[in-house]
């Protein structure tokens, strides 16, 4: 079972999370999600547990528990949603601006 762990303190480590979840059963993997550029934690992680029943018990017991001064959000991870095509269009950048596209205001030019 893949488990989402949110509201994670930035200084939390994968070993600390593994130790917390191992009290409920076998932990297959722990992955704290980090920013690609800075390497800093984004404040959430995924914990993969080998057994669904043990994963459900961990979710039940750990959701809302204080961890390094923050209440954790722990629930079953949902599959990642595909982004809509509108999101992709917004990220297109670069290139030269089209000189025919106005930027507002008076277009100018010789009137006579």
Give 88-103 as a DSSP string.
HHHH---SPPPTTS--
Can you give the pTM of this predicted structure?
A: 0.71
Residues 6+ apart with CB under 8 A from 91: none
Under CATH, which number does the domain 14-42+54-78 receive? 3.30.70.330
Nearest-5° angle of CA 4, CA 71, CA 17? 50
Residue 73 has pLDDT above 70, yes or no: yes
Give the mean model confidence (pLDDT) for residues 42-60.
Answer: 97
Give the mean model confidence (pLDDT) for residues 94-109.
Answer: 58
Give the mean model confidence (pLDDT) for residues 60-74.
Answer: 97
Q: What is the pLDDT of residue 3?
A: 98
Helical packing angle, 14-22 and 52-62, nearest 10° = 110
Q: Where is pLDDT greater, at 51 or 82?
A: 51
Distance CA 112, CA 109 (A): 9
pLDDT band at 107; cut points 50, 70, 90: low
Give the mean model confidence (pLDDT) for residues 9-19.
Answer: 97
Alpha-carbon 28 to chain mean position: 20
Q: Where is pLDDT greater, at 10 or 88?
A: 10
Contact 71, 9 (CB under 8 A): no
């Amino acid at each position: 079972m893949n488990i989402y762990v949110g509201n994670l303190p930035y200084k939390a480590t994968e070993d600390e999370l593994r130790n917390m979840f191992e009290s409920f059963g076998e932990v297959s993997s722990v992955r704290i999600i980090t920013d690609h550029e800075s390497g800093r934690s984004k404040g959430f992680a995924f914990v993969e547990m080998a057994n669904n029943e043990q994963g459900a018990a961990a979710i039940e017991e750990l959701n809302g528990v204080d961890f390094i001064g923050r209440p954790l959000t722990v629930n079953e991870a949902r599959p990642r949603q595909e982004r809509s095509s509108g999101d992709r269009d917004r990220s297109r950048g670069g290139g030269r601006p089209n000189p025919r596209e106005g930027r507002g205001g008076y277009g100018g030019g010789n009137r006579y």
